[in-house]
């Protein structure tokens, strides 16, 4: 099994960059968006292929949570996040954006083909 090496924060930051600049996105909504991305990745790639994130979601009282993302964003509470956040050292992978944009290009199991994702093996 290979790892794509995206952090949950890198994926959340991409959602904030694309959709949260004006009104922002609450921390828990970002948790759910990253979790949905994780699920789409598993549906498209399978359990034995590459993983989307370094960490797996944990089962918490109010739903799935990525502990690293929670740690980075917990100070926001319910306030909307309007710009990407940093965890030092943090350098987002350039292919996170195209991966997020392509997640909805097809629905796994619908027979409409498979979603397209960047080739993570070309990373340096």
- pLDDT tens by residue, 22-49: 999 999 999 999 999 999 988 888 877 7
Domain residue limits at 51? 3-122
SS3 60: strand
pLDDT at 100: 60
pTM: 0.68
In the prediction, which pLDDT does 52 show?
Answer: 86
| Whether 45 contacts 118, CB under 8 Å | no
Residues of the chain with pLDDT under 70: 1-4, 87-124
pLDDT for the residue 69? 93
As a whole number of angstroms, the distance between CA 63 and CA 109 comes to 24
How many folded domains does the chain comprise? Answer: 1
Question: How far is Cα 4 from Cα 10, in angstroms, rounded to an integer?
Answer: 12
């Amino acid at each position: 099994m290979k790892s794509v090496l995206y952090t949950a924060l890198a994926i959340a930051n991409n959602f904030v960059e694309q959709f949260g600049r004006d009104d922002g996105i609450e921390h828990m909504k970002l948790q759910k968006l990253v979790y949905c991305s994780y699920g789409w990745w598993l549906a498209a790639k399978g359990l034995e292929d590459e993983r989307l994130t370094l960490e797996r979601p944990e089962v918490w009282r109010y739903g799935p949570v990525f502990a690293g993302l929670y740690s980075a964003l917990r100070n926001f509470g319910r306030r909307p996040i309007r710009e990407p956040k940093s965890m030092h050292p943090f350098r987002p992978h350039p292919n996170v954006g195209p991966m997020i944009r392509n997640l909805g290009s097809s629905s796994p199991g619908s027979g409409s083909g498979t979603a397209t994702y960047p080739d993570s093996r070309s990373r340096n």
